[in-house]
Amino acid sequence: KRLFVIDTDAGLDDAQAIMMALAQPDINIIGITTVNGNTTVNNVSKNVLRLLKTCRRLDIPVYQGCDGPLMPHLDPVDAGHYHGVDGFGDVPDPDPVDPKMIKPEHSALALVRLANEHPGEINLVAIGPLTNIALALRLDSGFGSKLKHCFIMGGNTEGKGNIKICAEFNFCADPEAASIVLNLLGCPVTVAGWELCLKCGFTWEWYKRLISKGTAKSELMRVLEANTIVKFYKEGSSEFYITADQIIMSVAIDPKTVKAHEEVYATVALNDPLTRGMMVIDWSEHLQKKPNVKVVTEVDHDLYGKYLQDALN
């Protein structure tokens, strides 16, 4: 089986992305590490347990990680309007899992250990701010070289921000961590940025099929998203339901998801308040640096949609 570790700030799109991996019989998720992002790390861990309970997969170890970015924020980002303050639609769980199920080991330490236990085998799917992963790299500079591949949802390719003028949420939430990871990880890295998400929307009719399956998973997503993501896009008169973390998960599950990509050197703007957190891509090779990321520019939308629909069956 292929080994996956998922680093998440679940989050509603994270939840669906995790379900996508759970639905693949050839994938073994050997750990889920949580990080502050869409909500506090405590909430994220609770959300992951709730999701695993729904999927009857509480056997998967959950590790709790960083409760904030590497550097204190002057202007912290907030995703409450999109995911709910608790990150899961502000719909309390009537039968919550005992938080004691969370492993005592810190996410960053678990990442380092798992990479040592399975050198060259782990596909790390990073769908939150990159704090835990940057920290893992600082704990062990060889961490990245022990991974098989790192798949990241984050950054932007055309300077279109979803949380600041030109910065995407995950990178903006911890720009230093994003910079450390892009510049120092050293394993093959694939990135799906925010502009790709905007191109990969689904019609509301398609969305209705997704949340009307009558399964526990599709019911959970229907309830959690009704007053959050769905309201957000419908109130904005969006023709489409926009996804994010699910795209990079589809890429990690099946490379055939990628229809086009570019291999480029990418880094992160850190110093100017207007651009802080923006991914900066050297499209024209001005810096003459070795490419460090594969940026996905187009996906097979039907195939991607199929993985998403299958996940909630």
Footprint of ligand BDR (CB under 6 A): 11, 13-14, 38, 79, 82, 127-128, 153, 162, 168-170, 194, 244-245
C-beta neighbour count of 154 within 10 angstroms: 30
Peptide bond into 37 cis (omega under 30): no
Report how far residue 306's alpha carbon sits from residue 67's, in angstroms, rounded to the nearest whole number.
34
- Residue 266 CB, shortest distance to ligand BDR, in Å, is 16
Residue 168 or 225 having the CB closest to ligand BDR: 168
Q: Output the six-digit token pair for 206.
A: 């398609």
Task: State CA 199 to chain mean position distance.
Answer: 17
Q: Which does 174 bind (CB under 5 to 8 A by kind): Ca ion, ligand BDR, none?
A: none
- Residue 92 CB, shortest distance to ligand BDR, in Å, is 20
- Residue 242 CB, shortest distance to ligand BDR, in Å, is 9
3's enclosing H/E stretch is: strand 2-8
C-beta neighbour count of 142 within 10 angstroms: 12
Residues of the shown chain interacting with Ca ion in the complex, contacts defined by CB under 5 A: 9, 11, 14, 127-128, 245
Residue 225 or 245 having the CB closest to Ca ion: 245
Q: Which does 207 bind (CB under 5 to 8 A by kind): Ca ion, ligand BDR, none?
A: none
Residue 228 or 267 having the CB closest to ligand BDR: 228
With beta carbons less than 8 A apart as the criterion, state whether 1 and 253 touch: no
With beta carbons less than 8 A apart as the criterion, state whether 159 and 41 touch: no
149's enclosing H/E stretch is: strand 147-153
With beta carbons less than 8 A apart as the criterion, state whether 287 and 266 touch: no
Report how far residue 206's alpha carbon sits from residue 31's, in angstroms, rounded to the nearest whole number.
31
Phi, psi of 66 (to 5 degrees): -65, 140
Residue 14 or 86 having the CB closest to Ca ion: 14
Q: Which does 180 bind (CB under 5 to 8 A by kind): ligand BDR, Ca ion, none?
A: none
Residue 47 or 218 having the CB closest to Ca ion: 47
Q: Which does 79 bind (CB under 5 to 8 A by kind): Ca ion, ligand BDR, none?
A: ligand BDR
Question: If we measure between CA atoms, which residue out of 157, 177, 150 comes closest to residue 264?
Answer: 157
Q: Which does 168 bind (CB under 5 to 8 A by kind): ligand BDR, Ca ion, none?
A: ligand BDR
- When CB distances to ligand BDR are compared, the closest residue is 169
- Residue 263 CB, shortest distance to ligand BDR, in Å, is 22
Q: Output the six-digit token pair for 68.
A: 């904030």
- Residue 98 CB, shortest distance to ligand BDR, in Å, is 25
191's enclosing H/E stretch is: strand 189-192
- Residue 289 CB, shortest distance to ligand BDR, in Å, is 25
Residue 146 or 242 having the CB closest to Ca ion: 242
Question: If we measure between CA atoms, which residue out of 273, 150, 130, 262 comes closest to residue 196?
Answer: 262
Residue 128 or 175 having the CB closest to ligand BDR: 128
Amino acid at position 202, single letter: F
- Residue 145 CB, shortest distance to ligand BDR, in Å, is 25
Q: Which does 155 bind (CB under 5 to 8 A by kind): Ca ion, ligand BDR, none?
A: none
